C-alpha cells in the first residue's frame, strides 16, 4: 500500500493527505465497509498500523521496507 500511495502522489499529483484518505476511508467505502472500517473512531473495529517514523508521511516517502512498528486488528496487536 505504501507504493500505491507513492504512485498516487507522484503520478496522479494527489496530496499525501488525499492518498491517505483514498487508502483508508474511501477504500473501505468502495467495499461497502466504511461503517466498521477505514477510520479510527468509536464503534469501529480498531484496525490500524503504528508507524516507526517521525510522522506517517514516511510511509509514502520510504519505498522498500515500510517502517511499521505494530499492526493492530480489532484492538489487538497482531504484529509486534
The model's pLDDT over 18-34, given as tens digits with 9 standing for 90+, comes to: 999 999 999 999 999 99
Answer for the pair 69, 50: CB distance below 8 angstroms, yes or no.
yes
For the whole model, what pTM was predicted? Answer: 0.81
pLDDT at 78: 92
DSSP 8-state assignment for residue 71: E
Task: Place 17 in a pLDDT band, splitting at 50, 70 and 90.
Answer: very high
Cell output for 78: 497482531
Task: Place 65 in a pLDDT band, splitting at 50, 70 and 90.
Answer: confident
Answer for the pair 54, 35: CB distance below 8 angstroms, yes or no.
no
Map grid coordinates 505504501 to a residue.
2
What residues does each domain of the chain span? 2-79
How far CA 58 is from CA of 36, 51, 66, in Å, comes to 26, 8, 8
What are residue 48's DSSP bridge partners?
72
Amino acid at each position: 500500500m505504501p507504493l500505491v500511495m507513492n504512485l498516487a502522489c507522484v503520478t496522479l499529483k494527489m496530496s499525501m493527505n488525499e492518498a491517505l484518505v483514498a487508502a483508508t476511508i474511501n477504500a473501505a467505502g468502495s467495499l461497502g465497509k466504511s461503517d466498521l472500517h477505514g477510520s479510527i473512531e468509536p464503534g469501529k473495529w480498531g484496525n490500524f498500523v503504528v508507524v516507526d517514523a517521525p510522522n506517517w508521511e514516511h510511509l509514502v516517502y520510504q519505498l522498500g521496507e515500510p517502517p511499521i512498528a505494530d499492526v493492530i486488528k480489532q484492538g489487538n496487536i497482531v504484529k509486534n
